[in-house]
Structure 1
Amino acid sequence: MASKAARKAIYLQKLRNHLKDNNKHLVIVSADNLRVSQIQAIRQGLRPHSSVVMGKNSFMRRSLEIHAPSAGKPAFVGAIPHINGKVGLILTDCDPEEVSETVAGYKLQPLDSTRRSNSNRKWGEIEIIILENSRKVNGLK
Structure 2
Amino acid sequence: MPIGEFCNREVVFATRTTSIIEAAELMRRYHVGDLVVVDEIAGKRVPVGMVTDRDIVIEIVAKSLPVADFSAGEIMGGQLVSVQETAGVVETIRLMRAHGIRRIPVIGQDGGLVGIMSVDDLLDLLAEELAALAKVAPREQAREARTRER
User: Which of 1 and 2 has higher RCO (CA within 8 Å, sep 6+)?
Assistant: 1
Question: Considering the TM-score relative to the shorter chain, is it more than 0.5?
Answer: no
TM bracket, shorter-chain basis = under 0.3
Return the index of the structure with the highest Cα Rg: 2
